[in-house]
Amino acid sequence: ASIAEATMAGDGVRRRDFINIAAVSFAGVGGLAALYPLISQMAPSADVLAESSTEIDISAISPGQAIKAVWRKQPVFIRNLTPEEIKAADAVDVSTLRDPETLEKRTTAGKTNWLITMGVCTHLGCVPLGAGEGEVKGEFGGYFCPCHGSVYDTAARIRKGPAPKNLEVPPHEFSSDTVVKIG
């Protein structure tokens, strides 16, 4: 091949590359444009985003009691564990759990009595029953999901049923001894 032919062949390749790149970019833009309504629909609405954190007064929750708060439009369980419930949670051999986590890891240092979890079953998202709601004092003393029977223990760790994970612990910190900030 002469030098001239080689150059022409090179030009051909470069032109094809350009056409390919142009086509890909165009598809990319077209694809994004088509996806935009879907993405904007999936994005949390402004009022949900505005609620990036919420402060809850926990002064009235006695040991053995729990309340259901709301954060980002989802239920959150705030539970004041009794010394016996803490002991029961600590007595579990974590290595045998489906989703191994100690109570210590799921709570704040020095405040292991305060167990704060999402009230959303990790199976298909039903709201499990909490303290004082029927079956709570069942086999593992934690939460029971009425939808398909998942059972969580006193540390809200999954022990039975189809749920794959423990009840999720949302980001939180204690503003004082009586107020917790979630989010």
- Select 87 or 148, whichever has its Cβ closest to ligand FES: 148
Binding site for ligand FES (CB under 6 A): 121, 123-126, 145, 147-150, 161-163
Shortest Å, Cβ 161 to ligand FES: 5
Q: How far apart are CA 180 and CA 183, in angstroms?
A: 10
Q: Is 172 a catalytic residue?
A: no
- Select 68 or 181, whichever has its Cβ closest to ligand FES: 68
- Select 127 or 182, whichever has its Cβ closest to ligand FES: 127
- Select 67 or 126, whichever has its Cβ closest to ligand FES: 126
Going from the C-alpha of 3 to that of each of 10, 11, 34, 151, the distances in angstroms are 11, 12, 46, 76
| Residue at 136: amino acid letter | V
Shortest Å, Cβ 151 to ligand FES: 9
Could you please report the per-residue DSSP string of 109-165? TTBTTEEEEESS-TTT----B-TTSGGGGSTTEEEE-TTT--EEETT--EEESS--S
Catalytic residue among 12, 148, 175, 178: 148
End-to-end Cα, the chain, rounded Å? 69
Going from the C-alpha of 10 to that of each of 6, 172, 183, the distances in angstroms are 6, 61, 58
Shortest Å, Cβ 30 to ligand FES: 38
Shortest Å, Cβ 66 to ligand FES: 18
Provide the annotated active-site residues: 148
